[in-house]
Structures are given as structure tokens and as C-alpha cells.
Amino acid sequence: MIAVMDLTFLMLICTLALPLISFLWLCLPVTATRKPYLHVAGILNGLAGFSSLVYFLSSGSRLYRYASWEWIKVKAWNLQFGLVHYPETAFLVFTVSLLSLFVWIYSLAYLGVKEDRHRYFRHLSLFIFGMQWLLVAPGLGQFFMGWELIGIASYLLIGFYRETLDEASAASSAFMHNRVGDLGLLTAVSILLLAGGTADFTALSDLASEGMYAESLLVIAGFGFVIASLAKSAQFPLHAWLPAAMAGPTPISALIHAATLVVSGIVLLLRIKPLLLPIHLDLLYGIAGLTALMAAVMALFQTDLKKLLAWSTISQLGWMIMALSKGGEYASLQHLYAHAYFKSGLFLLAGIFILFAQHAELNEPGSIRGLKPWLLNHKVLRWSGIVLLCALSGFPLTAAFLSKEQILMGFAASHQTWSDPLYWISFLVPLLTAAYAARLYFTVFHTGSEELLLGKTWKATASLWMIPFLLALFSLFPLLSLNPFEGTKNWGPVLGFGFYQAGNPIPASTQWLLISLALTLSGWIVGFLLFRFNLQLPFLNRRYWTEHLQAGLIRPVFAAGRGFSFADRRILDAGIETLSRSVVVLAHVFKLVDRHLIDGGLRLFNKALYHAGPWGATTSEGKLQGYLARTALVLMVLVGLVMMYLD
């Protein structure tokens, strides 16, 4: 009989190895030619999903290091690979595998018979492996490797439709923005490794608590971590890449931009929070609060369905980071899990709507605005959408209602006052969230006419509509709690495994239940009024803030880069090339001088000596008269020369 710990370790190995095997399998040239080879990769990822479920159910409620291997050891520096069970994110391991499986099944129907879809699934497998590798990392070295893997995989997936400029530009934008975060993370890792000789999370926490790091080092490293988390979680001013990434395939938006890659910044903050100083937490609180408000306003007046969901994701991530920075780890993780399921479902539902309408605009005639007649014939899609929008709004009986309540109570318990604008923002964000959810509901589900259906006979296949339906079920309260009105009654004590162990949950109260419900209902009233009077803010629809960020920050940087490139090519390179050519010309001149003047002169002198030798030999005949005659001749010549000089 296999021991529980052995079973858990085995399932964790399978959860990691199977997506990697799937990626390597799809790298083989033969797998690109036949459909059955793709199904083999799908089966491998399905088995990975089952393994992650068994791992989660058999895992314990304490941190446990299953395995550790030494990777690099140089003097006092030590980097290790390993597999660590973190109770607070064990459910995220399962969530990543489950959502990846759902997206895999959905993508088979969404992409159809596209010729190079094996490339899409190959990169998807790489992304799944990178995300799981990151979640079980014992230290920052392995974490950084997973961080880079999901970065390059997301770049390849966003740019899957590489035939058009928009998709290629979106992929490049995501790649460049995230490189800023990578630089911050690499800087922080290097500082801590050089100062303490280790990158292990537990060791780092112990060293920080013992005061082994100088405060100046922690300040610099902390800012590096802050930059990394802001870039990965698309927070201001590194947020513009996420709306642009909506040019990629919709299933990728559901997985990467709602539930996995963008939450890796929050996972990083959870791992290294003991190293952060109050200045870092206050900075996170302020930036995340402003980002949450800005993105909620952008979503409220957005006319592109996918970009509306993208701005919503940015806002929700900012709200989670606000909670995390004020000690609400439990609440932040709860909302992370709830958001992963309902936002993935909304993205996949949007993909179905876009397939039907052939574009993502909400206000154009014949667009997604007015799908009511079509949805009447697709009741599963209709009710899935309603449940998912209720979850986004935070209505009772949904998981988001419980997490929203925990976050609001956490803000109140953090001793914030109403004189703090960010405290107002923490309550305004859920109201605006409900408002744009209501506007989207009335726009899509309560307008339209039968004329829109003329010539449109497309019908969603079961593999398309079934996935949003399942995600809608996962968005209900049993995901987080046995009690629909109490977020602390999770499944851990019942089933005996670790579940949401981070932080301290706050027991629910009737007061906060009513406040949470009032915010949701007020938001829906605002959303209905916006829909009823068709209020629009054109400057927001033209991505005003994003364009001004591009004009004020990114474009000047690119302009400076072009200036430096011009100076490098036209001035430095040209000067160096001119100098090198001058040196070559001088070398040829010296070569000619050496060959024809110096060497020629020496050869001429040698020849003169050669011919003068016999003549000199004839002057040594041994007769005194000859010596005197030649001496007199030389003296006469010298006297003549002197007289010429004196004249």
C-alpha cells in the first residue's frame, strides 16, 4: 500500500512531468502531420489534471519539502531545485491543471482545423509546465526559471496569429513590458543571493527575521520585487500590455490573462512578503488602488468585449494586491481562486459570442450587442453567462460574494479611515465592478431583434458551450465554503487537507453581508442607468489613458532609443569606420615607403658597395705615388667645397 506522502509526491511529479512530456512530444516533427498525435498530448494533459486533483486532496496542511537537489554551488552561494508543498497555493496547482484542460478541450473546437494548431498546443503545454514549476519552487532560483518560461510561452501564444501586425505587436508589447519586471526580479534575486548566499524562501524569511540583511539591501531588493509583481500582474504603469494582448486567441486570454500568468505576481508577493518593508507595502497599496480604480472606469465605458474583460482583470488584480498589502492574504487568495474560474468562463463565453458575431464590438449594428434572440435558443449559454456575471458582481451564493466580503472586512480591520482616499477606492471598486457587469448583461442579454439572425446559422458545439457551463458551476459558493454566507467554513477541516491556509480569515457578520450586497445592488443600478441612457465617454473608448501613457512614457523611450541608434550608426560607427579606413590607407602608404624607399635605398646602397668593392681593391697596389695622388685629389675636392660654402 502506498503511503499518503508517497502518493502525494508521486502525483506532484506527474502534475509537473506530464505537461513537459506533452511539450516534448509535440516538438517531434511527425506530430505536426496527423491528428491522433495531438490527442496523445491532450490525454497527457488530462492525466496531469487528474494527478493534480489527487495531489491536492492528499496534501497536508503544513509546508513540506518533498525533494531538493543542489543545482549551483559557488563558495557560499547555493541554488537548489526541489518540490515543495505550499498549503496556501496547493489549490492553485489543481486550478492551473483543470483550467488548462478546459482550455485545451475548448481550443480544439475554437481553432477548428487550422494547419499549425499543433504549434499552439505545444506552446500551451510549455506554459502549463512553467506555471506548475513556479508554484512548487523552493526558492527564487527555480521560481525565476518558471517565471521566464511562462513569459516566453505567453509571448508565443499571444502571437499565435502571427500573420497580422496587431497580433505581432501585442506579443512584442507583452514581452517588453514583462522584461521590465524580469529585470526587477533578477536584481532582487542577485542582491539577496550575494548578501545571504541562498535564495530559498524559508531561509530568506529566517534571515530577514533575524536581521541578517542590511536595511538598505532589503529596500533595493523590495523595490525589485514590487516592479516584478506590478509588471506581471499588469498594474500601472506597466499595465498597457494586457488589453493589447487581447489580439491573441480568446482561449489563451481565458487561461493566461485571467487565471495563471497574471496571478504569478501575487504568488511572488505571497512568497517574499516577509522580506518587504512598510514602504514597499504602502507603495503596493497605493499603486494597486489607483490601478484598480482606473481599470474599473475603463471597463465601465469600454466597447470591445475582450478589452472590457481585460480591464476588469487589471482592476480585480489591483484589488487583490490592495488586500494583500494590508494583511489580507486569506481574502486575497480566496478572491484569486474565485476570479480564476468566473473570469475564465467569461472569456470563453466571449469567444463563442465573437465566433458568432465575427467581431468583439458591443455597439455596432449586428454585433454582440443584441444577441438575445440567438441566446434564447441556447439556454445553457444564456444561464452560464448570467451566473458568471453574477459572480463577477459578487452576488450572494457565488464564491466571489464570500471573497469580496472577506476583502472588505480586511480593509476595515486594517484601521484605515475615511480620510484616506484609498480606503474609499477599496469600496468604490466593487461598486464599479458590479456596474460594468450590469451594463454588459443588459447590452448582450436584453437587446436585439430577429433581424440580427438573418444569414447567421452558426451553432456552438458541445465542447464550446459545455466549458463555460462547468466554469459557471465552479463559480458558486461551494468552491470556497460550505456556508454560502461564511467565507471561513472551507473544505479543509471536513476533508482533512490544507486549504487556503494563508493569513487569518475574519468571521462574517450581518453588517458586512448587507454592505457587500448594497454595493452590488448599487452597482447594478448604475450599470442599468448607463445602459438605459447609453452614456459613453469617447475619450475612454479611444483608450485615452493608454495612448497618453504611450505618448508620455513609452514613445519618448523609443524615440530616445532611435536617437541612440542613429548616433551609434551614423556617428560612432561612421567615425570608427573612417578611422579604420584611414589607418588602412596609412598602412598602405607606409608599405610603399618601406618597400620602395627604405628597402629600395638599402638595395641601391648594397649594389653601390658591391660595385665599389672591386674599384676599392684596385687602389691598394702598394705604391706611394698613387696614395699621394689620391690624397691630393680628395683634398682639392674638399677645399673646393669649402670655398663654395663660404661664397
To the nearest whole number, what is the mean pLDDT of the chain? Answer: 81
| Residue that wins the pLDDT comparison between 196 and 44 | 44
Residue 296 pLDDT > 80 = yes
Query: How far is 90 from 498, CA to CA, in rounded Å?
Result: 8
Residue whose C-alpha cell reads 452614456 in the numeric block: 535
Residue 382 pLDDT > 70 = yes
C-beta separation of 481 from 493 below 8 A: no
Percent of all residues in the chain with a pLDDT value above 90, rounded to a whole number: 25
**Nearest Cα residue to 87 out of 508, 506, 491:** 491
Predicted local distance difference test score (pLDDT) of residue 34: 66
Would you place residue 455 in the very low, low, confident or very high pLDDT band (cuts 50, 70, 90)? very low
CA atoms within 13 A on the CB side of 530: 25
Provide the β-strand partners of residue 77: 74
| Residue that wins the pLDDT comparison between 311 and 248 | 311
C-beta separation of 330 from 408 below 8 A: no
Q: Please enumerate, as own/partner, the contacts of 17-20 that have beta carbons within 8 Å and a separation of 24 or more.
A: 18/44, 18/45, 18/47, 18/48, 18/51, 19/44, 19/45, 19/48, 19/100, 19/125, 19/126, 19/128, 19/129, 19/132, 20/125, 20/129
Q: How many beta carbons lie within 10 A of that of residue 607, not counting itself?
A: 10
Query: How far is 506 from 533, CA to CA, in rounded Å?
Result: 40
Query: How far is 162 from 156, CA to CA, in rounded Å?
Result: 9
pTM: 0.80
| Pairing relationship of beta strands 77-85 and 64-74 according to DSSP bridges | antiparallel
Predicted local distance difference test score (pLDDT) of residue 450: 45
Residue 535 pLDDT > 90 = no
